[in-house]
Amino acid sequence: MIAQDKISSLQTQYAPTVWLNGQYVNIKEADVHIMTHGLHYGSSVYEGIRVYNHKPFKLRQHIERMLHSATSLHLDSPYNIEELEEIILEIVLRNNLTFGYIRPLAWRGAESPRIDGINCSCHWAVVAWASFLEQRHSQRIQGIRLEINPTWRKAPAGCLPYTSKSAGMYTVSTIAKIESQKRGFDDSILLDMKSNVTEATTSNIFFIQDKRLYTPIPDCFLNGITRQTVLQIAENLGLEAQEYTIPVSNLNTYEAAFLTGTSIEIMPISSITYGTQVYNYNSQHPLILQLCKAYDQITY
Ligand code: PMP
């Protein structure tokens, strides 16, 4: 099947109405110029927002992060928080999204090939998936298999705008995930330059030991909104949770582990492979089940 056919078959999952630079248009009319700076140099930022029962979850936090990401790339926003909120709610309405996924995007346009792109216009869009995700029931029960990526590391703070969701941040995530999948794993975990655990390619990580939660300190990777939600849920449930430097040598000390992210929600990990070592975890650990139940209650 050629790529265009694949896109056509996927189009049934794309919500038909998108918002592009101030207009609501059909997705087939939402074209982008081939000379787009964002395409050539990755000068673009995005968000990912889940819709549950017609309601975008944590909308305000996602829009705040979107504007923060744009600012970190010196991309202007002609829209404020309230205007972006209104546009996103309108996209939910026009596409009649019950359970879906919304993606705001911003990027530099086609006016200049220079790296600074300073003369390029800023473009803003909101696109959506009508039925983005299967529920991944079997993975939720069995847990996913991860590896510590043997090739790629997380760049130290100061090397990338790590608090933003900018396209350039994802180059290593894409390569690492492709390579881990080729080796038969579901995803990669990246270590920092000091061999401490950071996160998976597009989600944060937690460990469990003795009824306590441990999660790495987000000092060179994204402090995800789901991660923050889980920390809040833990506090509400009276569970102890600690942000902690987690050396890779600690992996054998935990009973259970899970990932968090907007799209995967709370995903149990069944094993982490590190070189020749395989660490197995209880994907049905009672604390994971408790957190999943509480998360479902606030989202669904
Ligand atoms: N880390 C990275 C690199 C991500 O792309 C994401 C997904 N946005 C996350 C963590 C999880 O963030 P959130 O919970 O806000 O979706």
- What pLDDT was estimated at residue 4? 54
Residue 8 has pLDDT above 60, yes or no: no
Ligand 1 atom nearest the C-alpha of 170 is 3
pTM listed for this prediction: 0.95
Protein residue with its CA nearest to atom 4 in ligand 1 = 202
Note the pLDDT tens digit of each residue in 173-228.
Answer: 999 999 999 999 999 999 999 999 999 999 999 999 999 999 999 999 999 999 99
Residue 9 has pLDDT above 60, yes or no: no
Give residue 242 CA to ligand 1 midpoint distance, Å.
Answer: 19
Please report, as a single letter, which amino acid is at residue 58: K
Residue 12 has pLDDT above 70, yes or no: no
Band (pLDDT 50/70/90 cuts) for residue 140 is confident
**Which residue has tokens 């920390």?**
231
Residue 132 has pLDDT above 70, yes or no: no
Ligand 1 atom nearest the C-alpha of 58 is 15
Give residue 111 CA to ligand 1 midpoint distance, Å.
Answer: 31
> What number of helices (H) and strands (E) belong to the chain?
8, 16
Mapped onto helix, strand or coil, the DSSP state of residue 108 is strand
Give residue 2 CA to ligand 1 midpoint distance, Å.
Answer: 31
- What pLDDT was estimated at residue 133? 59
* Two tokens, residue 237: 């449930």
Protein residue with its CA nearest to atom 7 in ligand 1 = 202
Residue 136 has pLDDT above 80, yes or no: no
Rounded to an integer, the average pLDDT of 19-38 is 97
Rounded to an integer, the average pLDDT of 97-108 is 96
- What pLDDT was estimated at residue 2? 47
Give Cβ neighbours of residue 98 (< 8 Å, ≥ 6 apart).
Answer: 51, 53, 54
- What pLDDT was estimated at residue 114? 97
Does 41 or 13 have the greater pLDDT score?
41
Residue 28 has pLDDT above 80, yes or no: yes
Note the pLDDT tens digit of each residue in 243-298.
Answer: 999 999 999 999 999 999 999 999 999 999 999 999 999 999 999 999 999 999 99
Residue ranges of E strands in the chain: 17-20, 23-26, 44-46, 49-52, 55-56, 100-108, 122-129, 144-153, 187-191, 197-200, 204-209, 212-215, 240-243, 256-261, 265-274, 277-280
Give residue 101 CA to ligand 1 midpoint distance, Å.
Answer: 14
Ligand 1 contacts (CB < 6 A) are 48, 165, 199, 202-204, 222, 224-227, 260-262
Note the pLDDT tens digit of each residue in 148-165.
Answer: 999 999 999 999 999 999
Give residue 62 CA to ligand 1 midpoint distance, Å.
Answer: 11
Residue 86 has pLDDT above 90, yes or no: yes
- What pLDDT was estimated at residue 7? 52
Q: Among residues of the chain, what percentage have pLDDT more than 70?
A: 95
Average pLDDT, the chain: 94
Protein residue with its CA nearest to atom 12 in ligand 1 = 224
Note the pLDDT tens digit of each residue in 53-78.
Answer: 999 999 999 999 999 999 999 999 99
